[in-house]
Amino acid sequence: MKCILTILATLLFLSSDSALAEWIAIAKMEKFGVTIYVDPNTIRRVGDRVMMWQLWDFKTSQTVADYNLLSTKTYDEFDCLRERSRRLAFIDYSDNMGRGLPI
């Protein structure tokens, strides 16, 4: 599934003008109340791996430990050959679309 999202994001990147807005929606999961966006300007390919920034935007506040968040930016690496991925970094935000205070 993650490899499919990576391929979709790459296709969106290749078919779009790089001057367009940063975040492009690639998945909407109504059941979980989240929309996932990718910033096509951050897609980097190194061999069989693809790295990119994603934005997870939640409809309702998510409680993690002792704080609430409405969005998370993640920097992920996808290995399509081995069908695996790993999170390299993340930043939680108090407001939607990566706005507000970083938590």
Distance CA 69, CA 91 (A): 10
Residue 95 has what DSSP assignment?
Answer: S
* Residue 5: how many other CB atoms lie within 10 Å: 18
Which residue has better confidence, 21 or 89?
89
Average model confidence (pLDDT) across the chain: 87
Hey, how many other C-beta atoms are within 10 angstroms of the C-beta on 100?
14
47-61 pLDDT, tens digit each? 999 999 999 999 999
CB 55, CB 98: distance < 8 Å: yes
User: pLDDT over 70 for what percent of the chain?
Assistant: 80
